[in-house]
Structure 1
Amino acid sequence: MTRNHSTDTLLRSLDAADHSVSAGTQRARTDLQRILSTDPAPVFEKSPTAAQEYSARRKSPAGRRVVFIGAVAVVAAGLVVLPSFSGGDPAFATWTAVPSGMTEQDRAKAVEGCRESQKRGANGMYAHDVEKAEPAIAERRGAWTTVILATSDGFSGMCITDDSANLFERGMIGSAGKSTAYSNPGPRELRATDLGTGTVDANSISLAAGFAGSDVTAVSYQSPSRGEVTATLSMGHFALWLPGDDLQNAASDGVEVEVTYHDGTVGTSTLSF
């Protein structure tokens, strides 16, 4: 995998968000204005970070990935998140290593919530893609839901949301991106689109997501801190996440995952940018 086709913006000047700060404060509004006025610029560093504009690096050729959030941002290595200001599950106490499905009603709610967030994110840059995207992944890990919306031409948008918090105070990580030269991954290939570590309420979160080839039937990560973490695999996409900073340097150093194929054989694949 190469890394010379990613577009990022690294915001170095924002302080980490004060958890007691409301999204309506002058500080929050000022930060948001600075974020929105920042022009995207290519950088090739191992810790891509940004709020509201270009961020977590896109693996696909000539692609770009946007991370979007609310008015208060935490700048971290790889991802940007909106903290839960009260309630919810900020310490990931309900998180599970093996994902579970959702009821039809909960799935529809999570998908619609992600779609609306994606439309608003990045100034509506991918609104058309979001509108036609189908839910490729919808999983639950405790109180947290993960949704990936995708199209057949390489767009994917992801939302990881604390579903237990108040509607306006939910912690969330969101990203979106599309390759201008997308091609389907090889039958046994994994191609990362999201890989890194961020923070929410001073607690770290690591995630890996991307495209999976047609011969891949299962993906898992052996975490030093959490044991085996099982990915959700659906419609040519995979996604997993876990509390902690396991994947802090994964984008540059690579991280090995276990892959199972249709014939029952098991191998490994290294995710990186």
Structure 2
Amino acid sequence: MNTRTSRLDTALRSLDAGGTLTKEQQQRAADTLERIVAVTPAAHPHAVAPTRRSPRRLPLVLTAVVALAVAVIVLPGGVGGGQAYASWTPVPTALTPAEVEIVAPPCRARLREGRRLDLGRARLVLTERRGEYVALLYRTDDPDMSGSCLAHNRPGTDDVDDVTFGIGGGAGPARSAPARGFTQGTISDFRDASITDGAAGTDVAGVIIHAGGLTVHASVSNGRYVAWWPGPAFEPGQDRPGGGGPRPIVSYDLTLTDGTVIHDAQPS
């Protein structure tokens, strides 16, 4: 075993819980998992963070949870590793049909692992490129489910790697956004990268997301928006008072078709 492998093995073993969990530890773990996956497709009007819901509306963000667990160890070439994020741009460009043809198969293969999004019915509704990383958003409106993937693909090449994904939503039909507003959809926080989507009203021409020190111009088309950025969406280890889950670091500005800008807009 070489030195690098030994260090990695030691780091991975340090993440093991070890022994038999007590009932209190099991409950604490369950509460933590619920906070991580509790992403609402239409959040409370006065909050931008995920909230707890009934089991019927409990979102299903499986791989995002796994990514959160392993992101403690940053490996070269992985999401958040290497130099690829140095090419990230706050303003995206849409993928060309040729690029979609290259990236879509590995993206759909990863989404299929989640087993929660009906890929037979899901539509590809938005794509975006920011430097060497691209994002694809698949949707079904009934049930209201979003599946997004993030993949490394250098422009002009057929190489696709570092594919990760998040799936979220609920059992009921999708809610529409008011003409001058938006809904907050799934937020997948991989710590080193985050991706979110939602519905945009008919009078909304642009959605700007502020995440920490980053300003992110979302891709907006046909009543939906999507955006990804290099960094977290929630403050680590900071729960809101009353057990409301992790504290978000995202806020939204809307640009309307008449030129009006709504700062610190709240989701419907």
TM-score, scaled relative to structure 2 = 0.65
- Per-residue deviation, 1:237: 1.4
- Per-residue deviation, 1:264: 1.9
- Per-residue deviation, 1:259: 0.5
- Per-residue deviation, 1:230: 0.7
Cross-structure match for 1:198: 190
Give the gaps of 5 or more residues in structure 2.
Answer: 1-5, 18-29, 43-52, 239-244
Indicate yes or no: 2:137 matched with 1:148. Answer: yes
- Per-residue deviation, 1:74: 3.6
- Are the structure 2 counterparts of residues 267 and 45 from structure 1 closer, same or farther at C-alpha, using a change threshold of 3 Å? farther
Indicate yes or no: 2:148 matched with 1:158. Answer: yes
Q: Is the Cα contact below 8 Å between 1:118 and 1:176 reproduced in 2?
A: no
In the TM superposition, what whole-angstrom CA distance separates every residue of 1:10-43 from its partner, at most 9, and x where no partner exists? xxxxxxxx9946xxxx97xx99xxxxxxxxxxx7
- Per-residue deviation, 1:215: 1.5
- Per-residue deviation, 1:252: 4.5
Cross-structure match for 2:99: 106
Cross-structure match for 2:230: 243
Residue pairs, 1:167-178, within 5 angstroms? 170-178=162-170
Kindly, what percent of the aligned residue pairs are identical? 23
- Are the structure 2 counterparts of residues 140 and 271 from structure 1 closer, same or farther at C-alpha, using a change threshold of 3 Å? farther
- Are the structure 2 counterparts of residues 46 and 68 from structure 1 closer, same or farther at C-alpha, using a change threshold of 3 Å? closer
Q: Is the Cα contact below 8 Å between 1:206 and 1:246 reproduced in 2?
A: yes
- Per-residue deviation, 1:241: 2.3
- Per-residue deviation, 1:132: 1.2
Report the structure number with the largest CA radius of gyration: 2
Q: How many residues align?
A: 225
* In structure 1, C-alpha distance between the alignment counterparts of 2:33 and 2:230, rounded to whole Å: 20
SS of 2:128's equivalent?
Answer: strand
- Per-residue deviation, 1:118: 1.6
- Are the structure 2 counterparts of residues 143 and 64 from structure 1 closer, same or farther at C-alpha, using a change threshold of 3 Å? farther
- Are the structure 2 counterparts of residues 117 and 173 from structure 1 closer, same or farther at C-alpha, using a change threshold of 3 Å? closer
Pick from 202, 209, 213 the counterpart of residue 225 of structure 1. 213
- Are the structure 2 counterparts of residues 236 and 160 from structure 1 closer, same or farther at C-alpha, using a change threshold of 3 Å? same
Cross-structure match for 1:259: 254
Residue pairs, 1:39-118, within 5 angstroms? 48-49=35-36, 55-60=37-42, 62-69=56-63, 73-75=67-69, 86=77, 90-91=81-82, 92-118=85-111
Partner letter of residue 122 of structure 2? A
Q: Is the Cα contact below 8 Å between 1:81 and 1:173 reproduced in 2?
A: no
- Per-residue deviation, 1:198: 2.6
Q: Is the Cα contact below 8 Å between 1:206 and 1:247 reproduced in 2?
A: no
Q: Could you tell which deviates more after superposition, 141-150 or 90-99?
A: 90-99
Q: Which has the higher helix share?
A: 2
Indicate yes or no: 2:204 matched with 1:213. Answer: no
TM-score, scaled relative to structure 1 = 0.64
Q: Is the Cα contact below 8 Å between 1:85 and 1:169 reproduced in 2?
A: no
- Are the structure 2 counterparts of residues 266 and 99 from structure 1 closer, same or farther at C-alpha, using a change threshold of 3 Å? same
Q: Which has the higher contact order (CA 8 A, sep 6+)?
A: 2
Partner letter of residue 57 of structure 2? G
SS of 1:93's equivalent?
Answer: helix
SS of 2:91's equivalent?
Answer: coil
Q: Is the Cα contact below 8 Å between 1:133 and 1:151 reproduced in 2?
A: yes
Q: Is the Cα contact below 8 Å between 1:233 and 1:239 reproduced in 2?
A: yes
In the TM superposition, what whole-angstrom CA distance separates every residue of 1:161-189 from its partner, at most 9, and x where no partner exists? 22359979615232233341432121122
- Per-residue deviation, 1:135: 1.0
- Are the structure 2 counterparts of residues 82 and 187 from structure 1 closer, same or farther at C-alpha, using a change threshold of 3 Å? farther
Partner letter of residue 113 of structure 2? R
Q: Is the Cα contact below 8 Å between 1:81 and 1:171 reproduced in 2?
A: no
- Per-residue deviation, 1:44: 7.2
- Per-residue deviation, 1:255: 3.6
